[in-house]
Structure 1
Amino acid sequence: MEGKRLEYRGEEALKELEKFTAKADEVQENILKEIIARNCETEYLKKYMEGSKDVLEFKQRVPVITYKDIHPYIQRIANGEDSSLISGHPITEMLCSSGTSGGEPKMMPSIAEDLNRRTFLYNLIMPIMNQYIPDLDEGKAMFLYFVKAEMSTPCGLPARAVLTSYYKSKNFRCRARDAFNDFTSPDQAILCTDSNQSMYCQLLAGLVHRHQVLRLGAVFASALLRAISFLERHWVHLCNDIRTGHLDSSITDPECRSSMSTILSSPNPHLADEIEEICSRPSWKGMLSQLWPRAKYIEAVITGSMAQYIPSLEYYSEGKLPLVCTMYASSECYFGVNMKPLCDPADVAFTLLPNMCYFEFIPLGENGTLLMDMDEEKGVPKEKLVDLVHVRLGCYYELVVTTFAGLNRYRIGDVLQVTGFHNRAPQFRFICRRNVVLSIDNDKTNEEDLHRSITIAKKLLEPYNALLVEYTSYADTSSLPGHYVLYWEITHCISTDSPTPLDSKVLEECCIAVEEELDYIYRRCRTHDKSVGPLEIRLVQPGTFEDLMDLFISQGGSINQYKTPRCIKSSNALKLLNSNVEASFFSPRDPRWIP
């Protein structure tokens, strides 16, 4: 089956999808048997299975784990020990996950054939879309794709983002150059590691082909909005390039210059005038559908934390372009596809593909929290897990996967709700990432990391006899790039000495102190990617957090159980907080970041 995966395209891919989902239980059982047979001699599984290949014994003996449990094995492989610690096949690279709660990104093991599984899923997207929007092969796709900085483990294994791995692979570079893979962006621009030069060239190529573009998109909604912001700042230069037929001198990457010379083959003043007339309008409402008038939809991840960008995308498309979220994937594994891509964003659900890995699920309460008999610290009882075909409609679960690359009963951390079934394969709505309170782009900051960062930063107040009484946070995406907002209520301690004034520099230093303590991914987004703006502290009047408590209690909360929410999502609560802001302070510089 592995050798044939890349052969499945078009209607054949859809037939395979039907076959896998119709026999989801059989496929899942065979997948688990194959994984156990391959990996039963690994150090990790031997510890629990003692060489057994029995599926029932796997479910009885192998524990449910989180990253901290598998990290020592991954680190040993990264340092040069053999892949057989966790995998029967060689680990070829480490995929850097954005979901980290420590100082460095999580590293997920990957084997060579994982690339074929990802490609199988990608090959399903266009056949599914073509069922709903015909004739997509009669034009181009302006998809903005980017690579991120690569690292190496101490033993020389590549350590990179999963999308960077895919774009640099032969599966992407040597893909079939058919109409469905006809992108406006040259591969050289996509693979340029300078994000500004890459963005410039990809937007320029998209503008040159504006009358041929049928599909718009980026991987994440935040990336597409970032591109719009970039276009607002650079459209004059882009128009000049089109008008003269010469690429701006600021583009110095030789591969970009070479690939763009074919696209800018001659001056086109008429096209430049068209674009200038549109971009110089006082309002950019509907800009996407005006610049690319034949576009039929926008493709991007709009679930989870990306849902906050839906109003902005609708503004720039004037509601004329459907927002399409096609697939569900992570660094650990690719999971499934959206079989109804034109549904309302709030109704997006993904059919999990039973040939991707072995799926299990932790049953959750009605609000997506752990059930009372499942202690987060003590771990999840193995007997509580539910397999793929036995989840129940309407119920909430946390996703657990067992992969070919050596993750065994690994908690992904995603909370899902069952919304239906495609044949025997369940369909899930993504609810949230467990414990994440703040996210703008790829950053995922949980409550523990936020609290630790603020605990460090508030020590800067002590020399001024000032005390942080209470705090909460908010991911502000009203402008680009979005940024974290902290609401602080500060009081001055009683002292016999005259209190030293708390000037703006102190609060600015508090801002940067928080950022310095946030994780690697946040600091990368701030410093390298520039996809997250400077952190802001808003000082609120004394008594504001008492008013906040009164507000939540008036809406049905219990005073006995009330805890200050560490992230605010209620519009009424935000209105209350903002009405009590006395002053605002921003980080004065980027946090330190070492690639």
Structure 2
Amino acid sequence: MLPAVAVAVAVALAVAVAVAVALPAAPALRHRLLRSALLRAAGWTRRRLELRGSEVRRSQERRLRRLLPPGTARGSDAFRERYPLGQSCPDEVLGGQVSPLRPWTLICSCWGTDPPLQGSLLYLDILRTTFPQALAPRGTALLSWAPACPRAPAGWPLPTLYCTPAEASALPSRAAALRVQLLFALRMRALRVLEAGLASELQDALLALRTGWHGLAQDLALGRVSPQPGLPEDTRGRLQALLAPDATRAAEVRAECARSFEGIVQRLWPQLEVVVVGTAYSTEQHYCDALRQADCKGLPFYCPFYQASGALLGVNLWPQEPTPRFLLCPDWAFCEFLPCPAEEEPRTVLLDELWEGREYRLVLTARPGEYRCRAGEVLRVTGFHKQCPMVELVRRESQALSVRGESIPEDQFCRSLCRAVGMWPGARLVDYVCVESTLLGASSGACAPHYEVFVELRGLRDLSEGQRYKLDQCLQEDFPIYKSFRFKGSIGPLRLHMVGAGAFARLRDALGSAIPMPRVLREERLLQLIQNTVIS
């Protein structure tokens, strides 16, 4: 039955895509044909996911066979005996240039396993069923910067979704790219979806709106792209040719921004249905929470994908839930898990051996030749969809603080910091980053090893010594080992610094690539940059 259905779907897709590709001069018809073909493929992908969810072990064994060299001993048990647990996976962001969608590519998706394509097809299917108008032509604006390694938007197989010029993502300057993309988003009042590659990109684009809305409104009124650093003149000319003067829309932007910025996204785009953040990272969850409470108030946030070390591993089938949960797809990678806390003789468990409510470290085999890599991710199992586990992101192990082997995880440090900020009247935490004193070198003085924390706040202009001590006190209350080291004097008092507005946007510009915001700085050049922005 299933092969016959696959053949029928493949033939229909081939015809629809071929016709759509041949109609570049009729964009509306091209969009409808492509959307129809892709949604048919998405329905098939969803049915296959449901089928594979009932045979997880078999699907995982099948995926492993595809990843191993020919003639290798078969089976997960033999695989684990032959290959020891490896080193950490390369820390990559899901990206890479995607090829233009062709009939043969889509047809092969009915039988093969192409996680980026299948993930995007599922994304389109979920949008169609949950947000009815989200697939309108040119109804999605993209905020994403990836100059060296282009990062595909969530709905890349259907490029007619996007009103944002693709060239804007590849500008040499992150700040310039986000401002240009924001300008093209602002001109589309009937926007349905606002999509960002990372939550920090959305945060910085909206910060550019807060600080530069006068100039953006003027550009809308005149139909121009203003010169700026990091925007080559020839590129600016090509982008400007896509704009037309729109004094009415410029007046709307001015009026809404002059009122306030709480709920500004919904007011600027009254038909907006959802805010999409392409990939979820534990270090970026703070931005999603802050945006929900302020600029994006009243709008659902949807993080469709979970990826680790450049490999797509899971998809979020529940877009309206406030905390993203990801279904680990058994066809996309071979996954193993180390229970937390670590055991003396670690033995991995497989995808169908997980327990609800427990935390696990992820061990990944996603590419031929890269076997059993430690992904550095800690996941919590929240339930099961058929036999497939649903997981939440907990933390990245590389973001733990440790100067004496005490190891304070990033998620727990964030909770302690938020608790301390809550004791400062009127203060709201915008952003933060930590440094271990070993990175400071001689500038740390002769004191004991300690943490230095840099925060950006709203509602507070200065920090008193009592307020600074609150964070150290919260850490001692939350982490007995830290308290013990502080009592012995082997860890010195935490030093807290307040930085000026926009400091973290400049820090992310200096990272040089589109990566999740690090919470612990490991490079001296980044430390010096943030030190130069301290105001208190």
Asked if TM exceeds 0.5, the reply is: yes
Aligned-residue offset at 1:415:
0.7
The runs of 5 or more residues in structure 2 that have no matched partner are 14-36, 100-104, 106-111, 402-409, 414-432, 488-492, 511-523, 527-536
Q: 1:206: which partner in 2?
A: 185
**Match 2:60 to one of 5, 28, 33:** 28
What secondary structure does 1:562 align onto? helix
* Aligned equivalent of 1:352, options 328, 339, 355: 328
Structure-to-structure mapping, 1:96-495, within 5 angstroms: 97=92, 116-138=114-136, 140-148=139-147, 150=148, 160=149, 164=150, 166=152, 172=156, 175-178=157-160, 182-209=161-188, 211-250=189-228, 251-262=231-242, 264-265=243-244, 267-281=245-259, 283-300=260-277, 301=279, 304-317=282-295, 319-345=297-323, 348-364=324-340, 369-371=341-343, 373-374=344-345, 381=346, 384-437=347-400, 454-455=437-438, 457-460=440-443, 467-469=446-448, 471-474=450-453, 476=455, 478=457
Aligned CA distance change for structure 1 residues 559 and 28 (closer, same or farther; 3 Å): closer
Report the TM-score when normalising by structure 2: 0.68
Secondary structure at the counterpart of residue 211 of structure 2: helix
Going from structure 1 to structure 2, the CA distance change for 1:556 and 1:208 (only over 3 Å counts) comes to closer
Task: Give 3-state SS (helix, strand or coil) of 2:135's partner.
Answer: helix
Please report the RMSD computed on the Cα atoms of aligned residues, expressed in angstroms: 4.3
Classify the secondary structure of the residue corresponding to 1:205: helix
CA separation of 1:188/1:13 partners in 2, compared to 1, >3 Å: closer, same or farther?
A: same
- The 8 Å contact of residues 109 and 405 in structure 1, kept in 2 or not, is answered as no
Q: Which amino acid aligns with 1:225?
A: Q
Greater CA deviation, 298-307 or 352-361?
298-307
Q: How many Å apart are 1:62 and its aligned residue?
A: 1.1
Counterpart of 1:222, as a letter, is S
Equivalent positions of 1:56-95 (< 5 A) are: 56-67=77-88
Closer, same or farther in 2 for the Cα pair 1:52/1:176, shift >3 Å? Answer: same
Measure the CA separation in 1 of the matches of 2:293 and 2:434.
35
Q: Name the aligned partner's letter for residue 405 of structure 1.
A: P
User: What is the CA deviation profile of residues 226-269 of structure 1, one whole-angstrom value per residue up to 9, with x for unaligned ones?
Assistant: 0011122322222222212233244534245314412x13x221
Inter-partner Cα distance in structure 2 for 1:110 and 1:204: 24
Q: Is the 8 A contact 1:189 1:256 kept in 2?
A: no
Q: 4+ residue runs of structure 1 moved beyond 4 angstroms?
A: 3-8, 107-115, 444-447, 450-453, 537-541, 555-561, 583-593
Q: CA deviation at 1:143?
A: 2.1
- Judging changes above 3 Å, is the alpha-carbon distance between structure 1 residues 290 and 191 closer, same or farther for their aligned structure 2 residues? same
Change in Cα spacing, 1:328 to 1:239, as seen in structure 2 (3 Å) is same
Seen in structure 2, the aligned counterparts of structure 1 residues 451 and 11 have a Cα distance that, compared at 3 Å, is closer
Structure-2 residue corresponding to 1:562: 484
Structure 2 distance, partners of 1:343, 1:445, is: 20
Amino acid at match of 1:57: A
Q: Is the 8 A contact 2:97 2:151 kept in 1?
A: no
Does the CA contact (< 8 Å) of 1:141 and 1:183 recur in 2? yes
Code of the residue aligned with 2:92 in structure 1: it is S
CA, structure 1 residues 360+126, in 2 after alignment: closer, same or farther (shift >3 Å)? same
Structure 1 contact 62–409 (Cα < 8 Å) conserved: yes
Q: Is the 8 A contact 2:60 2:334 kept in 1?
A: yes
Tell me, yes or no, if the aligned pair for 1:398 and 1:416 is still in contact at 8 Å.
yes
Q: How far is 1:299 from its partner?
A: 1.4
**Aligned-residue offset at 1:272:** 1.1
Q: 1:255 to 1:110 in 2, by over 3 A?
A: closer
Q: What secondary structure sits across from 2:294 in the alignment? A: helix
SS in 2 for 1:293: coil
Give, in whole Å, the separation in 2 of the partners of 1:36 and 1:116. 17
The offset of 1:540, in angstroms, is 5.8
Number of residue pairs matched by the alignment: 424
Q: Distance in 2 between matches of 1:205 and 1:18?
A: 38
Letter in 2 for 1:328: Y
CA distance in 1, matches of 2:197, 2:97: 21
> What SS does the aligned partner of 1:299 have?
strand
Greater fraction strand: 1
Deviation at 1:135, TM superposition (A): 2.5
Shift of 1:55: 4.2
SS in 1 for 2:68: helix
The residue number in structure 2 matching 1:12 is: 44
Partner letter of residue 327 of structure 2?
T
Contact in 1 for aligned 2:133/2:192 (Cα 8 Å): no
One-letter identity of the residue aligned with 2:293 = Y
**132-141 vs 5-14, which moves further:** 5-14
Partner residue, 2:422: none
Equivalence for 1:498 = none
Residue by residue over 1:474-512, the C-alpha shift from the partner in whole angstroms, topping out at 9 and shown as x without a partner, is 4635369xxxxxxxxxxxxxxxxxxxxxxxxxxxxxxxx
Post-superposition shift, 1:434? 1.5
Work out whether residues 25 and 389 of structure 1, in 8 Å CA contact, stay in contact via their aligned partners in 2. Answer: yes
Shift of 1:30: 0.9
Q: Taking structure 1 as reference, are residues 585 and 539 closer, same or farther at Cα in structure 2, changes over 3 Å only? A: farther
Runs of at least 5 residues in structure 1 that lack an aligned partner in the other structure: 41-50, 71-94, 99-106, 151-159, 375-380, 439-443, 481-536, 566-575
